[in-house]
Each structure stands twice: as C-alpha cells, then as structure tokens.
Amino acid sequence: MNLATKYLGFSLPHPLVVGAGPLTDNPDNVKVLEDNGAAAIGLRSLYEEDVAGEQMATFFNTESHNDSFAEATSYFAEPDRPLGPDEYLEHIQRVKAAVGIPVVASLNGTGGIGGWTSTACMIEQAGADALELNLYHAASDPSMSAAEVEGQMVQIVREVKKALRIPVAVKLSPMFTAFAHFAHQLDEAGADGLVLFNRFHTVDIDVIELEVLRKLALSHSADLQRRLRGVACLSGRVKASLAVTGGVHTALDVIKANMCGAHVTQMVSALLRHGAPHLRVVLADLKAWMEENKWESLDQMRGNMSIQRVPDPAAFERANFIQIFR
C-alpha cells in the first residue's frame, strides 16, 4: 500500500502534516511530532504588525529625539505571541536543527509588497523549506472593490515568488465571491500550493459591559465540509498542490479530503485535543481503511469525487440545492 504524496515539490511518506499553531512553538515538541509520524511541520505565523512594531521600537530607541516622544514607543502593543521577528527567525533555525522533515514557515500581513518580500527573504535565509503566505483581508472598507483586494493579493504572491527560491503556498479564506477564479489567478501568479481554509475567531456581544467578545474554538470534523467543496472545485484545474486545513480529525476526514483532490491534510485541533500520538492512530486507521476497501494508493483515489468529474458542475450544484430544499 502506498500512502506517499507530493506537496510543494516535497515527496512525503503520507499526507498527515502538522499545521500552523502552538504545537510547533517549541523545538522539543516539534521533534515529538516528527517521532510520531508527522510528514511535515507548519510554524505559527509571523505577523506584519510584529515586524512593524519591532522596527518602530528600534527607531524610537536609537534616534536622538526619542526622549522627546517617549510615549510613541508604546504605540505598538507587545504581541501576545511568544515569538517576535528576530526570535521567529532563530526559531526556524532551531526547528530545522531538531528535525529532518520539511519545515514550512508562515507570514501573515496586509500591507505593501515591500514588507512581504523583505521578510519572506529573511525567512528563507533562516532555513525554512517553504513559506505559507496567509492572505487575510478584513474587506470592511466600502471604497475598495473586490477586484482591488484580489489584485493586491495576486501581486503580493507574484512578487514574493520572484524574490524566493523556496516553494510558496497561499492560505486562503473562503470568503471570495468567485473563489475558483481567484484561486486560478494565484495559480497563474506562481503559487506552489493553496491551503483551504483559514479559520476565523467568532464574535459575540456583552450587552451589559458593551464589549466585543472574541474567541477561537477548536475545530471539529463538521468544519471539514466547506474545505471539501473548495478543494473539489480546484482539483485538476490548478497546477498548485492542494492542502486542507480545519476539521481534519480522523482517517475518514483524510480520505474525504484526498477524494476531493487534496495532496495533504493539516492537523492542529485534533493534536491539541489528543496529543502527538494521535498522528499514529490516524495513520493506522488510514491504512486499515484502505486495505479493507481495496485501495492500493492515495494517488489512485485522489480527486475521484472532485467537481472536475462532473460534466456541468454549476448545473449539478444547482440541482442538488433545489433537491435538498424542496
């Protein structure tokens, strides 16, 4: 039985990848994840605001007039994350020294292209095997059109690809009007991989204290459904590798993602719940299921449930919509 897959040009023994999250903040933890079978490791994001905050702090601490405007040094709040920009680059080096599997760094930003490319180059120089660009945009400015937002993101990917030698994946949100078209633009811009989808914090209101309450709950397998549709829309239509993140907890989740066209599945919440040994459990269950159902390889089944297999996808989805709600 062959569980091998390819992602971002890397040949992996199986599709179980640890996604970006707190589990990879410590090199010792990363080694434990590798020992339990992780095929690759995703590091938590370095945020553009962290880079800008450090640059501003350096400026105000070194320029001769910083004493006159001392309050300005507190303009950027201390990040909640444990790693600042310099520490992040050092962390990449420590993780690379600890494991032999691919290490994928992550960069999350919203600003101009220059900040993306310069930081991406530093991440490459620190030794990351690949970079995941987390293209988050709140899209709350009514004066900015969807075409402008998407055009900016495509340009960022194009310029980062020009600046780097390592593979570049793009992590997307599901909130694009014409998602398949946008993904195709990113593919043409040179993205080596597309990661579906970002998970967002939930918002509630405290009506007594008049406060906005934000939290990010761990995912469940039910969260997988939107990812399956997104991957099924792109399978066979883009050159980029496809990754599913969010809702991958069991071997059946991995099977479903693969059947829709995913090359890898990223796990975070399941490992936070059950620990690193859960990778071994999912891998064993995956092998057992494939043996029971007479599948010889993941390549053999990949994409067999994608929308590409349907002659008229739009009509097919419309018919299903009508059937369900009737």
Q: Is the bond preceding residue 182 a cis peptide, omega within 30 degrees? A: no
Confidence of residue 293 (pLDDT cuts 50, 70, 90): very high
Summarize the confidence of residues 78-104 as an average pLDDT: 85
43, pLDDT greater than 60: yes
Q: Burial, 12: exposed, middle or buried (Cβ in 10 Å; 0-12, 13-18, 19+)? A: buried
Q: What is the per-residue pLDDT for 1?
A: 84
Backbone torsions φ then ψ of 314, nearest 5 degrees: -65, -45
Backbone torsions φ then ψ of 102, nearest 5 degrees: -60, 140
Q: What is the per-residue pLDDT for 310?
A: 66
Question: By three-state DSSP, how is residue 88 classified?
Answer: helix
Q: Within 13 Å and on the Cβ side, how many CA atoms surround 12? A: 26
Domain count, the chain: 1
Question: Which residues on adjacent β-strands are paired with residue 12?
Answer: 5
d(CA 157, CA 169): 9
Cα separation of the two ends of the chain: 43
Question: Which residues on adjacent β-strands are paired with residue 212?
Answer: 205
Summarize the confidence of residues 295-324 as an average pLDDT: 76
Question: By three-state DSSP, how is residue 206 classified?
Answer: strand
Summarize the confidence of residues 244-260 as an average pLDDT: 97
CATH code for the domain in which residue 129 is found: 3.20.20.70
d(CA 276, CA 23): 9
CA 81 to chain centroid, in Å, comes to: 17
Q: Calculate the average pLDDT of the chain.
A: 86
Q: What is the per-residue pLDDT for 96?
A: 98
Q: What is the per-residue pLDDT for 308?
A: 79
Q: Looking up tokens 């095929």, which residue turns up? A: 39
Q: Contact at 8 Å (CB) between 119 and 157?
A: no
Among 216, 285, 229, which residue's Cα sits nearest to residue 256? 229
What burial letters (b/e) apply to 170-199, b meaning 16+ CB within 10 Å?
Answer: bbbbeebeebeebbbbbbebbbbbbbbbbb
Length of the chain: 326
d(CA 187, CA 193): 8
Q: Contact at 8 Å (CB) between 5 and 15?
A: yes
d(CA 90, CA 125): 11
Among 202, 214, 201, 281, which residue's Cα sits nearest to residue 16? 281
Q: What is the per-residue pLDDT for 194?
A: 98
Residue 302 is part of which domain span?
A: 5-325
Strands, E assignment, 190-313: 193-196, 202-206, 211-215, 241-245, 264-267
Give residue-wise pLDDT tens across range 156-191: 999 999 999 999 999 998 888 889 999 999 999 999
